[in-house]
Amino acid sequence: MLCTWIYDSTNHNQWLANSGYVLISKPLRILAIILLALLIRWLLHRAIRRLTTSTSRAEMPALLKPLRERTAKQPEAAENQFIPERRRQRAEAIGSVLRSFVTAVIATMAGLLVMGELGFNLAPLLASAGIVGVALGFGAQSLVKDLIAGLFMLLEDQYGVGDSVDLGDAVGVVETVGLRVTTVRDMRGVLWYIRNGEIVRVGNKSQGWAMVVIDIPIGFVNSEEASAVLRRAALALADEPEHATEFLEPPDVIGVEQMTVDGAVIRTIAKTTADGQPVVQRELRRRLTEALESAGISERIAISRMLPRSAVPPAFPGPSQDSSSTPGGAT
């Protein structure tokens, strides 16, 4: 239509009509493709930001929920009880990945459309790109494996920054989480760099709740009396205001766990928050020990472990006795 208008306006000048299509129509179509691509990118980025920003609220979007929370219906109290900071970090990481992916896809499609407008034959280019992609895929299998494992790790919320984890050879606190590498600082201060594709199992000690298990040997003291003393001490600790928020359930003394040559072993358990487990474990050990000592049970435990011994040494046969009756004598 533009060429026809130019052709009629220039007294049927064919060259100007053809040049108008190249100089006006094609640049306008290319500009429209670029503007449309930028608009679509902005809209998708805005939607992703709104999706990731809403994770700071109590209700979490279904897309960013871990898989175990999507399949299992949990009580609302348990859902809203733990909204850690690492959820926000995980959402930001996922949002960054989605934005990068959207930008790459839109830029690729817009570039191909622009090249098509410029007259390039896209069929050989797409075939070459496919061959190069297959070659890169075979050559970078470990990289692709790490990236895919890191993406699923973020989606499933296996661990996050600040979590205490056991990744096999590395045990410590997670410092950074990336799509390719996770860094863990162990108890000695060593910083471990672990590729996500090499992580076979993950033991997370910071998710949800934790269990404190304390076994105390009581020798041959009455187990009912010792259990009553331990139970009073554990409940007293749970009732204190500074530790009440760390207990999810009242502690319990479940009784004799095992019998050894030194006597009975009584087990005390307490369900606590993940962050409060180390504090509760140390304080509960101290309170239980002090309770046994205050009740006088500690002294009785020590006495019950002493084996009775004779004050007179055993008699050995003298030289006047028959050598045949002594060990090692002649036969």
3-state DSSP percent of the chain in helix, strand and coil, to 5? 55, 15, 30
pLDDT of residue 75: 44
Question: Which of 110-119, 160-169, 280-289 is most confident?
Answer: 280-289
Q: Which of 239, 226, 235 is nearest to 294 (CA)?
A: 226
Within 192-263, residue ranges assigned H as helices are 223-239, 241-244
**What mean pLDDT do residues 221-239 have?**
90
* Distance of alpha carbon 218 from alpha carbon 301, whole angstroms: 6
pLDDT of residue 139: 66
Q: Strand 209-219 relative to strand 263-273: parallel, antiparallel, unpaired?
A: antiparallel
**What mean pLDDT do residues 75-91 have?**
53
Contact predicate 185/175, CB 8 Å: yes
pLDDT beyond 70 at 317:
no
pLDDT class of 331 with cuts at 50, 70, 90: very low
Mean pLDDT lowest among 14-28, 156-170, 201-215, 222-236 = 14-28
- pTM exceeding the 0.85 threshold for the entire prediction: no
pLDDT of residue 13: 54
Q: How far does the chain reach from its first CA to its final CA, in angstroms?
A: 130
Q: Which of 152, 178, 183 is nearest to 167 (CA)?
A: 183
For the stretch 232-282, pLDDT in tens is: 999 999 888 888 888 888 899 998 888 888 888 999 999 988 888 888 899
pLDDT beyond 70 at 89:
no
**What mean pLDDT do residues 41-46 have?**
92
Contact predicate 180/198, CB 8 Å: no
**What mean pLDDT do residues 106-113 have?**
88
